[in-house]
Structure formats: structure tokens, C-alpha cells
Structure 1
Amino acid sequence: MPPDVDLIPCLADNYAVLLHDPASGATLLVDAPEEAPIAAALDRRGWTLTHILITHHHGDHVGGLKALKARSGATVIGPAAEASRIDGLDRTVADGDRFDAGPWPVQVIATPGHTLGHVAYHLPTAGVAFTGDTLFSLGCGRVFEGTLEAMWGSLDRLRALPQETVVYCGHEYTASNARFALSVDPANEALRARAAEVEALRAAGRPTLPTTIAAELAANPFLRADDPALAAVVGLPPGDPAAVFAALRRRKDAA
């Protein structure tokens, strides 16, 4: 039986995600931006929180953690490299670790760049990945603590996940990401179609997530840094996707 999923808007543009297994009652939360909307979703659904997975230490991902843990007694799991900056972790994990959260095996993927210890979580049996602030729909996170080269390596690992993987990320940034993506890849038909879809969804007040690895491979310029056409856009020869990615990210930062 597939899990029930609740995508919860938080703060100005964050998302938290609840994953619930009807058979066992296990309920998994990924990131905890603020308590109130997550608690309201749990109450509305009649779910009891059992696990909280944290992708990185930024306040807009852990602001509700203390209260939600106190409310539920859920087991909190997060990156070992950021344990000193995340209050309330019960278990720390690092790249390549595997653990069970309720009925779901979870694979930990280190994705440094946005922060040094950022991790993503892949739940292969559920067919989902939680990418925090590393991979966004049509975009990627800003590099605050790591290097551009490290961020490219992180994205390269995520784009190698099965293409059917459903991706949930930490923010509703897709419309602005689409505008930048079209500025560097205007002839991409998959991107043009996705941008139109995003415009319609936002006009209707609906989220643009989740996405899939396949959709991002087709339309997200930051996952396509090995495309010679994008290398040409930033004035570089093909064959060095890390350099092309870095040039694209710098251009986005300056936009």
C-alpha cells in the first residue's frame, strides 16, 4: 500500500512533508519549519508522529522541532556533521547510512553545498526522495557553507536516483526558478511546458511540488550542466559540467 503524503506549507515559502503508513500507523515528518501548521495537519489527519528527519541545521527547517518532539515523543534523526547545531537529535546519520523509519528503509545521501553537513533522504520502497535545500524544482540551493564544486557533486548524486523517484524539496521557489531557467535554456520544450504548468498552479494557489527526477533531468538547467548547449550559454567549452554548473549558479545569484 503506498504511503499517504501531506505537503504542508510553512513560514513564507517552506514546506514540511508528512508520510504516513496506514497499516502500521507510522508517520514520518521531514523537516520542521514551524510547529503550528504541522501540528494542525497531524490533528486533522488523526496521525501520530513517530519519526522526524532533518536535512540541515537552518532555522527555517528546525524551528518547530523542539515543540513537535515534545508533543509526540518522535525519534529525531539528522546529519552527524551538524549535530552540534541541531538541538534534539536522537540519532545522527552520515553518507551511506541506512535505517528503518517505520516500514520504510531510508538511505542517507550526503549533499554538501548549501550547508556543509546537508543530507538528503531516499526511501526506495516508497519511491520518494527528500532533498531539502539542495535540489529544487527547476533550481538548486544557494551555496552558503560549501563550494560550488561540492554542490555540483551533490546534484550529480541526486540526478542518478531512479528517474521515477518523486522528489519533495524544502521551498516553493519553482516560479522564480523557471524564470531563470528560461533565460538560459529558452528553446527547451520540456522546460517551457513545465514553466506554463507552474504558472497555472501558482495562479490557482496550488503547490508546484512534488516533482520527479525525470522531470528535473529534462528541464532543470542545474542538472543539465553537461549539456553542450548550456556550456555555450555561459561561454565555456563542453566537457566540464562542474565549471558550467558554477557559472550557472553565479549567474542565478546575480539575477
Structure 2
Amino acid sequence: MSLPSDQDNTGRDLGAEELALLEQCIHSGTLTSTKGSFTKILEERFAATLGVKKAHACSSGTAAVHIAVAAIDPNPGDEIVTTSITDMGALTPILYQGAIPVFADVDRFTLNLTAATIEPCLSERTKAIIVTHLFGNACEMGEIMELAHSRNIPVIEDCAQAFLARWRGQYVGTFGAVGCFSMQQGKHMTTGEGGMVTSNDEALARRMFLLINKAWGYGDANPDHYFLALNYRVSEL
């Protein structure tokens, strides 16, 4: 079996179906996701597949983590407990938001965080926990969520390497406050570059939608830029 590569078409079967959809999109004349339908369909199907209330597409997996961290809204100097065995794109968003990454140890067999390795790193300044489901292996989310709930700390799941992985029958990305996914070429499913954030928290999902769209209130009666935010949208292509 050939695994997906970010260097060539290894492990992919992109072809006639994708070309037909690209042609349909181009002929529609609408390439921005704020006006088109392709991105909305992807978001709806993504949410339905995982069984979550909301899914919002963004420009990369790194953007997804940044959006999630910004949605949690840490104060400067707040701490976010995470793993050092991950992509740099899962760490830079913490620093960009003025927070401090605190690296917990990992299980020696799975290389994933566990509740036992996370707990010693928690403090009064802990704003969130970011777990990475590494190499397709789901973290043991039951004990992690029990610990997080006992301390009232939100959990962000980095699922960039674990799309459709499950822990005890439940998809990763559906346990914590936010699930973050990557659709870069080397991932399980691809849009070339791209990402997705998921949540069952309506208010948090709304904030993430705004963070993707320069905080512009698309669809509101009197939209405005509600706070400082970047443009992390994807195109319809």
C-alpha cells in the first residue's frame, strides 16, 4: 500500500472526478468560499461524518490550531500544555497568541500525551490542553477529558495525522472543545492545502468562523469587524 505523499501523486487517485468538479467550480464564476457552495458542502459533510454540530474550513492545519487557540483567547503569559513531538505548526499558534507552551511527557509506546503526563504540568495559569493524535494513534481521551473537566480546562485536539481515527468507537476531534484537522497533500484527505476546525460548542464555533473571516459578521443584519482577526479562508477550488 502506498501512503499519501506531499512530494508527488503517490497514494492518491485524483483524476477525472476532481477535474470535472474543478471545471464546474470555475464555470460557476464564484471562487470565494464566502459566496460559493463547494466549501459549505464540504463543511456540512465533514461535520456529519464526525457527528459534530459545526465544521469550518480554513487554509491549513496550522491555521486550524491558531484559530482554536485564538478562540480559547489566552491572556499573555497563560500556559498551554502540549507535546513537543508534533509539527511546528501546532506550536507557533501558541506563541503567536502570547501564551507559553508547556511540554508534557509522552507515553513511551504511543508517543502520545496521557492524563498522567499532563497532570504534573497543570497550573493556575493553564488556559488549555492541546493533544496530538500522533501517527494515526488516538490518545486515551477518557482519562484526559476527565482530568480536563475536573480542572475546567478546555481541550484542543490536533487531528492532523488522525482523520477518522477513533478512541473507543468515538472519532477523534469530537471529545474536546475543538478538533483541528489538516488537508495538506500528505494527509488522509486533501485539498492541496487546507484545514478544518470542528466543535459542538455553538458560541466557540461562531468565534472560530469569525476568526477565519477577519471577524467580519457574514450573514448578520448589520455586519462589522467585531475584533482583530486574520483571513484564513479557503477558495472554492
Instruction: Sort the TM-score into its range (normalised by shorter chain).
Output: 0.3 to 0.5
Kindly indicate which of the two structures has a greater share of residues assigned to strand: 1
Higher RCO by CA contacts (8 Å cutoff, separation 6 or greater)? 2
TM-score (norm 1): 0.31
